[in-house]
């Protein structure tokens, strides 16, 4: 094309007298490519406008000029536009420079716009900026193909205006900034998660190390004290026997605390599992009552099982774990109930015969309303001062019981009123008929 025709076209564009669909098809001139500028990210501000860098991939020099003119008056951003006329040129530029948005013509001399997006994505990976595709005819197929290839937006080339182009670029850049912010946040969360995992591993190692280093000599102490207590090392007086009994009880308490810590560590690492099978709830009740009776008698507390369903159904559970949960609830109820009080174990078939609700009710000191939501937290104690009169504890029992209930597809809950009493409850699945058939 003669030079005077090209110059006339540019003058018409500058004067804003040439309609967009009337521009002539002009080859990309090497003189039209601006000298690459120093990259300015969207965080940089100039005259109240954020600086951005745009890569415009189009072999039509007049259209490139028009787009630059449109973007120059954007009120939100101060754009620096770098142009490329071919896919090869665009890829070479992207290897050296970064951009906040890439605008691509659908039809290029050496490939399609959608293929350019794929190649750029392979080249840039997660650093890929948002893209906008110009479709020559505004056809639906081209638009769908552009979106499927990963374009953030598409514009019909013949209908592009200053407003539509600036709006599309603005939306794309804002989405890109949001994506970067989200990726940064995800990266921070991943780092925090990694740090937490390392801390958890350190805690697990600490639990196991302390348990081994302390329980080994503790076991030896228990054995030697038991030998003396039983008179195997020679006769002892009654007062000495009482002292040795306290020593043995203290050793048992320490051992129990370490067992709780180890149990908790297994829950934290996901190593604790249960084997659910149809089991008798009556057997569980009998075991718990026998085990807790001495403590109840010591405080003259009535420990009973309320009226049970005429035909107590079998439930899906690992019996020793449910015994552990109920025993913890019963022992806590006895611990925080005054002399002469009452502790009742209740059961009720609910939810159309599919679940069995188990509860431990007491008329003890109760829990303040503001604390009921925290009683299942690890190491939490409602009132540590109670330990002086009710025996020491670490605040792990209810947390472990809650974890076991979770493994049984249940949730441990509490209802309590201060100076009236508490009810701790959880549910178990009743064994379905097919499980009973398999068990038989």
Q: Which residues contact 358 (CB under 8 A, 6 or more apart)?
A: 281, 326, 345, 346, 347, 425, 426, 427, 428
pLDDT in tens, 19-47: 433 333 333 333 334 333 333 444 555 55
| Distance (Å, whole) CA 281 – CA 271 | 26
| Distance (Å, whole) CA 27 – CA 1 | 8
Instruction: Please say whether the beta carbons of 301 and 334 come within 8 A.
Output: yes
Question: Could you count the other beta carbons within 10 Å of the beta carbon of residue 130?
Answer: 24
From the centroid of its chain, how far is CA 64?
47
| Distance (Å, whole) CA 33 – CA 435 | 76
What percentage of the chain's residues is helix, strand, coil (to nearest 5)? 55, 20, 30
| Distance (Å, whole) CA 184 – CA 129 | 15
| Distance (Å, whole) CA 123 – CA 190 | 25
402: left (phi over 0), alpha (psi -120 to 50) or beta: alpha
For 147-164, give the DSSP string.
Answer: HHTT-SEEEEGGG--HHH
| Distance (Å, whole) CA 241 – CA 233 | 13
pLDDT at residue 10 tops 70? no
Instruction: Please say whether the beta carbons of 346 and 361 come within 8 A.
Output: yes
Cα distances (angstroms) measured from residue 133 to each of 111, 117, 243, 399, 428: 13, 9, 87, 57, 58
For 5-35, give the DSSP string.
Answer: HHHHHHHHHHTT-S-GGG----BPPGGGSPP
Instruction: Please say whether the beta carbons of 303 and 343 come within 8 A.
Output: yes
pLDDT at residue 406 tops 50? yes
Q: Which residues pair with 82 in a beta bridge?
A: 55
| Distance (Å, whole) CA 213 – CA 389 | 30
Q: Using alpha carbons only, give the angle 154, 127, 187 rounded to the nearest 5 degrees.
A: 120
Say what percent of the chain tops pLDDT 70: 83
Q: Provide the pLDDT confidence category of residue 414 given band limits of 50, 70 and 90.
A: very high
The encoded tokens of residue 221 equal 């102490």
**Helix, strand or coil for residue 430?**
strand
Cut 0.75: pTM above it: no
Say what percent of the chain tops pLDDT 90: 38
| Distance (Å, whole) CA 315 – CA 413 | 19
- The CB-side HSE value for 71 (13 A sphere, CA atoms) comes to 25
pLDDT in tens, 161-181: 889 999 999 998 988 888 888
pLDDT in tens, 44-79: 555 567 889 999 999 889 889 999 999 988 888 889
pLDDT at residue 229 tops 50? yes
- The CB-side HSE value for 98 (13 A sphere, CA atoms) comes to 12
Q: Which residues contact 209 (CB under 8 A, 6 or more apart)?
A: none
pLDDT at 337: 95
Give the best-scoring range by mean pLDDT among 104-108, 197-201, 269-273, 324-328: 324-328
pLDDT in tens, 184-198: 899 999 999 999 888
Instruction: Please say whether the beta carbons of 26 and 1 come within 8 A.
Output: yes
pLDDT at 193: 93
């Amino acid at each position: 094309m003669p030079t005077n025709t090209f110059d006339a076209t540019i003058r018409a564009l500058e004067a804003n007298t040439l309609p967009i669909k009337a521009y002539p098809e002009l080859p990309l001139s090497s003189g039209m490519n601006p000298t690459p500028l120093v990259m300015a990210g969207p965080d940089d501000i100039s005259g109240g406008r954020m600086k951005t860098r745009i890569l415009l991939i189009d072999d039509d020099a007049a259209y490139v000029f028009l787009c630059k003119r449109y973007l120059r008056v954007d009120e939100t951003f101060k754009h620096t536009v770098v142009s490329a006329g071919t896919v090869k040129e665009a890829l070479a530029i992207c290897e050296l420079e970064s951009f906040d948005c890439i605008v691509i013509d659908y039809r290029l001399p050496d490939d399609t716009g959608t293929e350019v997006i794929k190649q750029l994505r392979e080249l840039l990976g997660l650093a890929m900026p948002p893209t906008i595709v110009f479709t020559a005819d505004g056809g639906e197929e081209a638009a769908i193909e552009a979106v499927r290839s990963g374009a953030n937006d598409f514009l019909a080339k013949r209908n592009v205006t200053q407003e539509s182009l600036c709006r599309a670029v603005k939306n794309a850049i804002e989405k890109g900034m949001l994506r970067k912010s989200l990726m940064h946040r995800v990266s921070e969360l991943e780092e925090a998660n990694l740090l937490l995992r390392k801390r958890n591993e350190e805690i697990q190692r600490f639990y196991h190390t302390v348990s081994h280093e302390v329980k080994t000599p503790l076991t030896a102490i228990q054995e030697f004290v038991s030998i003396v207590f039983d008179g195997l090392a020679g006769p002892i007086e009654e007062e000495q026997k009482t002292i040795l009994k306290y020593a043995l009880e203290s050793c048992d308490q320490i051992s129990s605390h370490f067992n709780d810590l180890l149990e908790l560590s297994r829950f934290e690492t996901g190593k604790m599992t249960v084997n659910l099978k149809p089991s008798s709830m009556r057997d569980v009740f009998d075991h718990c009552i026998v085990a807790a009776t001495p403590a109840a008698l010591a405080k003259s507390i009535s420990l009973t099982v309320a009226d049970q369903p005429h035909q107590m159904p079998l439930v899906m559970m690992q019996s020793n774990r449910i015994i552990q949960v109920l025993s913890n609830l019963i022992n806590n109820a006895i611990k925080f109930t005054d002399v002469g009080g009452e502790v009742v174990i209740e059961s009720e078939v609910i939810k159309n015969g599919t679940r069995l609700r188990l509860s431990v009710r007491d008329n003890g000191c109760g829990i303040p309303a503001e604390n009921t939501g925290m009683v299942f937290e690890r190491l939490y104690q409602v009132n540590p001062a109670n330990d002086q009169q009710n025996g020491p504890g670490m605040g792990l029992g209810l947390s472990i019981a809650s974890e076991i209930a979770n493994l049984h597809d249940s949730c441990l809950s509490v209802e309590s009123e201060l100076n009236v009493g508490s009810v701790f409850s959880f549910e178990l699945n009743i064994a379905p008929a097919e499980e009973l058939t398999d068990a038989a």
